[in-house]
């Protein structure tokens, strides 16, 4: 190893160590997800794959001379700002991606344009270290349910669909989060990207293989769910469930992977022993050089500024009342909360979470739930996966949307035994009230970036369907009696 290479790798090792130390919470969070979430266990394999990809290229890379290169500072600046946005908005996916981008950018900065070009695919493949995919679970549940219904129709099995619930003469089936197929899909996309790079030179073939790596797992998951329902319909429900987890969970998707690879095999156009990169050609790649002191100063400034601002905002006072109580509502009286089926919205680690039942003179009943946070942080978000009217681990599941009032969200939820509710949700952060998760994330981001109020409140008004009586008239009447949801939310947060 030449002195130039030794110096460059030493700088890179120090930089990566410093970045991982500064952003240790995000690095630890990612590692915890890889280890504890079965959806992302495949990420544990990405690190040795990255090592192998670099090892493939080391002979040709050794022909190149590392040098410090200026343009990657733009990538690093974007990553640092992205991390600040993710931290301010409480979006862990953005923070994790930003950390990976900082690591990528430091490689390009400290090794130069030629080496970056030679390491382009391994650097891109680092994005698969980011745990992503759970955002697609609701959509995948719906797609799986629709595929099942289509196949059940072809098979002549009578069935009725209600959101993610499928009823047959034998039983009622729920396409749960675990049945959405997201685990297999994200792993298959990572495998598809690797195979596309290693086995294809033609970009149309690469894109075709990547498309198959996305479409086939989704279709296969629908077939798996359909087969489980068929087995239950013609045989034993308990046997179908165990068969689904053991056979389909391990064998079926293994066969699908083999099928996808076998189908792509005849179209592989890169020889197994083909040279991955050409070091001689890469020698002609050049770019604007920097002195080490200048590069490290700029890198430190870009990284430390968002960390410092985030730390300042995090320690600003953001109090909420030590106790809150459900409000008195004109024309309605508080009664015992005795639902046909227990329901409680999910708001993890809220400072306050209340739920109560109201009844008017006509006998209409509604349930009011209020959640209050002094501030949002990792695991304490007002909106996010598993939060809200139908928590990820509860008995209730989302089955469809409905007409919502202004600045609210309306959704219908149900249990497996066919209890139904309609829920109107208002979320309020820093004078913004909305039913849109994206709007609330943006309001949270603005509050944290610009120093606004950090308190966050959710107000959910819900009612059960009882027989043929629908829940919406009672909800509309109750909301009319509340009059001003914004003032109620601010009062609950101690801001009114």
pLDDT tens, residue by residue, 303-336: 999 998 888 877 777 899 999 999 999 999 999 9
By C-alpha distance, which of 155, 173, 54 is closest to 111?
54
Mean pLDDT of 460-479: 87
Does 138 lie in the same domain as 114? no
pLDDT at residue number 160: 83
What are the phi and psi torsion angles at 259 (to 5°)? -65, -45
Does 380 lie in the same domain as 458? yes
Mean pLDDT of 160-178: 79
Let me know how long the chain is.
496
Task: State which of 214, 234, 254 marks the end of a domain.
Answer: 234
Task: Tell me, yes or no, whether 471 lies in a domain.
Answer: yes
Task: Tell me, yes or no, whether 248 lies in a domain.
Answer: no
Residue 242 has pLDDT above 60, yes or no: no
Does 105 lie in the same domain as 219? no
Considering its fold, how many domains does the chain have in total? Answer: 3
Local confidence band at 426 (pLDDT 50, 70, 90 cut-offs): very high
Strand (E) or helix (H) holding 253: helix 253-264
Do 452 and 442 form a contact (C-beta atoms < 8 A)?
Answer: no
Within its chain, how far is the Cα of 121 from the centroid? Answer: 24
Evaluated on CA atoms 286, 291, 294, 299, the torsion sign reads: positive
Local confidence band at 243 (pLDDT 50, 70, 90 cut-offs): low
Residue 125 has pLDDT above 90, yes or no: yes
Does 158 lie in the same domain as 63? no
Domain range holding 292?
3-131+285-314
Mean pLDDT of 179-205: 91
Mean pLDDT of 434-460: 89
Count Cβ atoms below 10 Å from residue 160 Cβ, excluding itself: 11
pLDDT above 70 covers what percent of the chain? 95
Using left for φ > 0, alpha for ψ between -120 and 50, and beta otherwise, residue 181 falls in left
Within 13 Å, how many C-alpha atoms sit on residue 104's CB side? 27
Mean pLDDT of 43-47: 94
Do 180 and 32 form a contact (C-beta atoms < 8 A)?
Answer: no
Greatest mean pLDDT range, 88-92, 124-128, 383-387: 124-128
Say what the pTM is. Answer: 0.82
Residue 393 has pLDDT above 70, yes or no: no
Residue 152 has pLDDT above 60, yes or no: yes
Does 193 lie in the same domain as 209? yes
């Amino acid at each position: 190893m030449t002195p130039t290479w030794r110096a460059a790798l030493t700088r890179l090792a120090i930089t990566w160590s410093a970045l991982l130390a500064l952003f240790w919470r995000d690095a630890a969070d990612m590692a915890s997800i890889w280890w504890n979430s079965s959806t992302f266990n495949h990420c544990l394999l990405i690190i040795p794959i990255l090592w192998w990809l670099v090892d493939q290229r080391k002979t040709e890379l050794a022909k190149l001379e590392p040098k410090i290169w200026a343009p990657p500072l733009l990538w690093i600046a974007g990553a640092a700002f992205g991390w600040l946005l993710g931290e301010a908005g409480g979006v862990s996916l953005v923070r994790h991606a930003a950390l990976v981008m900082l690591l990528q950018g430091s490689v390009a900065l400290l090794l130069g344009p030629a080496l970056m070009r030679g390491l382009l695919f391994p650097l891109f493949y680092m994005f698969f270290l980011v745990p992503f995919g759970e955002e697609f679970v609701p959509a995948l549940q719906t797609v799986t349910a629709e595929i099942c219904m289509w196949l059940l129709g072809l098979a002549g099995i009578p069935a009725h669909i209600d959101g993610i619930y499928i009823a047959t003469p034998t039983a009622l089936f729920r396409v749960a989060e675990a049945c959405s197929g997201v685990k297999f899909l994200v792993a298959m996309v990572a495998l598809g990207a690797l195979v596309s790079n290693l086995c294809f030179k033609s970009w149309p073939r690469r894109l075709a293989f990547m498309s198959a790596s996305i479409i086939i797992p989704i279709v296969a998951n629908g077939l798996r769910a359909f087969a489980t329902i068929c087995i239950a319909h013609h045989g034993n429900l308990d046997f179908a469930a165990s068969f689904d987890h053991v056979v389909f969970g391990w064998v079926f998707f293994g066969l699908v992977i083999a099928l996808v690879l076998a189908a792509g095999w005849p179209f592989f156009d890169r020889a197994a022993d083909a040279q991955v990169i050409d070091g001689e050609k890469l020698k002609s790649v050049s770019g604007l050089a920097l002195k080490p002191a200048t590069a490290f100063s700029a890198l430190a400034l870009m990284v430390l500024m968002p960390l410092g601002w985030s730390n300042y905002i995090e320690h600003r006072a953001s109090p909420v009342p030590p106790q809150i109580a459900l409000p008195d509502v004109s024309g309605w009286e508080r009664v015992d909360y005795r639902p046909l089926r227990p329901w409680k919205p999910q708001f993890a680690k809220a400072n306050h979470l209340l739920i109560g039942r109201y009844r008017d003179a006509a006998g209409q009943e509604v349930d009011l739930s209020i959640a209050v946070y002094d501030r949002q942080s990792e695991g304490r978000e007002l909106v996010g996966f598993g939060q809200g009217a139908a928590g990820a681990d509860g008995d209730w599941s989302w089955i469809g949307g409905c007409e919502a009032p202004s600045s609210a969200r309306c959704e219908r939820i149900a249990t497996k035994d066919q209890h139904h509710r309609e829920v109107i949700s208002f979320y309020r952060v820093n004078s913004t009230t909305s039913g849109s998760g994206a709007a609330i994330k943006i309001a949270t981001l603005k509050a944290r970036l610009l120093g606004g109020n950090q308190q966050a409140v959710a107000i959910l008004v819900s009612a059960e369907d009882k027989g043929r009586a629908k829940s919406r008239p009672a909800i509309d009447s109750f909301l009319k009696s509340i009059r001003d949801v914004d003032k109620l939310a601010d009062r609950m947060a101690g801001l009114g």
